[in-house]
Structure 1
Amino acid sequence: MRKSDKQLDNRLRGALMEVCELALESVPGFRWLTHLADYRRFTDSLRIVCVFDSDDALTQAREAREDDYLCQLLQAKLAAAAIKPAALRRQVHFDSEEACQREHRGNWKRRLSQ
C-alpha cells in the first residue's frame, strides 16, 4: 500500500468509526459496519456494509428509512474526510448477522468476498 493509500485508509476508517458510533446510539438493531476497497480504483470500488443483528431489525430499519439516514450520515462524514465515492447509495449495502449465519454459517470473510 502506498503512503497516499494509507492516508486515505486512515481518513476512511476515522469517518466510518464516527458513523458507527452514531448509528449504535440512534439506529435500533444496528451492530457494526465494514468496508472493502481496491485502492487502485478507490472511488469506484469502495463498498460499505452496514450490519444489523437480525433480518427483522434490518426490515424495520428500512421501513423507518434508517437506511437513508445511514447513507446521509456516511455522505456527510466521508465528505468531511475529503472522500467522495462514485455513487455512495449504490456502494452502501445492508446485511444482518442472522442472514450471514443462515447462508454462510457466520463466516463474514466468505460472505463479504462474494
Structure 2
Amino acid sequence: MPAASVIPPVLAELAGKRAFVTGGGAGIGRAIAAALTRQGVAVAIGDLDPDAARKAAEEIGGGAAAVTVDVRRRDSVEAAFATVLEALGGCDILIANAGVST
C-alpha cells in the first residue's frame, strides 16, 4: 500500500469535528482546510479577503463555510467566531494560521 494512502490514527479521529482555519483563503491555510475536509471535518475558512475565503470554500467543497476575519482586530475575531459557531454549530479545532506583518 502506498504511503500516501495511509491515514494516521490521529487524522482518522477527526471525522465529525468542526474547525476554523484562519488564513485559509490561500497557501498553507487553504491546504490545511482541504486536508481537514478530506478527513470529514466541517471547516470554516477565515481570511481577510472575503473573495479568497469564498473561492477556497467553493473549491474545497464539503460544505466549507467562508468567513471574513481580520485577526489584528478583536471585534473582527469575535464576530468571525460567532459566524463560525452559527455556521458549524460549534468549534472543536482552531488553526490560527493567519500571518500578520507590521
The interval holding the TM-score normalised by the smaller chain is: 0.3 to 0.5
Larger Rg: 1
TM-score w.r.t. structure 1 length? 0.31
TM-score w.r.t. structure 2 length? 0.34
